[in-house]
Amino acid sequence: MLKQARRVVIKVGSSLVTNQGKGLDHGALAGWAEQIALLKHQGKEIILVSSGAIAEGMQRLNWDTRPTALYELQAAAAVGQMGLAQAYASVFSQHNLQTAQILLTHEDLSNRKRYLNARSTLTTLLKLNIIPIINENDTVATDEIRFGDNDTLAALVTNLVEADALVILTDQEGLYTSDPRKDPTAQLLSEVTAGDPALERMAGGVGSGISRGGMQSKVIAAKRAARSGADTLIASGHQKNVLIRLNQGETIGTRFLAKIPVLAARKQWLADYLQVRGRVQLDRGAENALINDGKSLLAIGVTHVEGDFERGETVACLNEEGKEIARGLINYSAVETQRILKTATHEIENILGYVAEPELIHRNNLVLL
């Protein structure tokens, strides 16, 4: 799975980056950096989702026990995130790789405008050969802290950047038929279908006392990632050189297969689940470019705008007869779109003062009807 993937999201849990919850394990971080650097040198794009900020903050604040008060958790996260970012920057610099810190909440990825902003930032960083280090913005989050659900965040990021694969590294070997700590006959499953309801029943209980996730959250994350066509691999991060071995095709952990191809899954989501906020009318050239050439929609091909939509919202694309031929996520608001009608891409900056994206609607964010 990992061997064939070009763009990969890797999530490492708290137990793999901290000294049993007491600050960061810098040796472990160096090991992850070394493995990821090797993957990068083989042409892969890597996004790392890492826990550890609260544990690092607790050490810096000399707290022995994880607090329960929300404001104290937020304070620990604020202090610890500084150390987490510094530590990753240091270990990756040993391999001549730069990192970038991205703090997100679930709300950032449910709001369409912020969703597109985050997507643009991440894809730009990947083009610049920089490794984004993502963590939940625990300084302002609430539910995220209570559940420690970086598994879900990793799956949402996988959807966001249309990654080929999600790798969740944990302190467990993978998904078993039952809890191996209680059932000596439990068997490790090497390959399953993401979204199978039976899997969530198998994955009960929580993880270590350091993290707040468990196998169940990882199984649900695999189901989320599959919605955009990405396979998921859940494996133990304590396995020596686990990422390198996975990239060599070795069978480790549990592979969750996504049965829906990437394109079909995303197009279904665009067509069926998003509310249309406005309409744009296209000329014949733009209609032909979308339908026959599989192109993106450019501002120069739009002749009329209806509705009061914001960037990132869904708009319908109408032909000259008023028939809806496509819909997609637009990169400009209704006001901005009105100003750049029939405008060549290279002229957008002169009119608006900036260029959010060269396309009005990118072909990856558009579905034909």
Element (H, E) at 30: helix 26-41
Which whole-number Å values give the CA distances from 214 to 30, 172, 183, 208, 350, in the listed order?
25, 9, 17, 8, 51
Instruction: Please say whether the beta carbons of 24 and 181 come within 8 A.
Output: no
Q: One-letter amino acid identity for 254?
A: T
pLDDT digits (tens, 9 = 90+) for 56-95: 999 999 998 888 888 898 899 899 999 999 999 999 999 9
- How many CA atoms within 13 Å lie on the side-chain side of 201? 3
Res. 115 pLDDT band, cuts 50 70 90: confident
How much is the pLDDT for 112?
65
Question: What pLDDT is attached to residue 210?
Answer: 41
Per CATH, the number for 7-263 is 3.40.1160.10
Residue 254, helix vs strand vs coil: strand
Q: Residue 184: its pLDDT value, please?
A: 85
Query: Is 50 exceeded by the pLDDT of residue 317?
Result: yes
pLDDT tens per residue, range 198-215 = 888 787 644 444 444 578
Is the per-residue pLDDT at 108 higher than 60? yes
d(CA 122, CA 62): 34
Q: What is the pTM of this model?
A: 0.75
Q: What is the pLDDT of residues 220-253, one digit of tens each?
A: 899 888 888 899 999 999 999 999 999 999 999 9
What would the mean pLDDT of 170-180 be, rounded to a whole number?
Answer: 87
List, in order, residues 6 or more apart from 64 with CB less than 8 Å away. 58
> Parallel, antiparallel, or unpaired: how do β-strands 324-329 and 314-318 relate?
antiparallel
Percent above pLDDT 90 for the chain: 60
Q: What are the boundaries of each domain within the chain?
A: 7-263, 274-368
Q: Hey, how many other C-beta atoms are within 10 angstroms of the C-beta on 136?
A: 26
Report the CATH architecture of 274-368: Roll (2.30)
Angle at 341 between CA 335 and CA 343, to 5 degrees: 125
Average confidence (pLDDT) over 345-351: 95
Read off the pLDDT band of 51 (50, 70, 90): confident
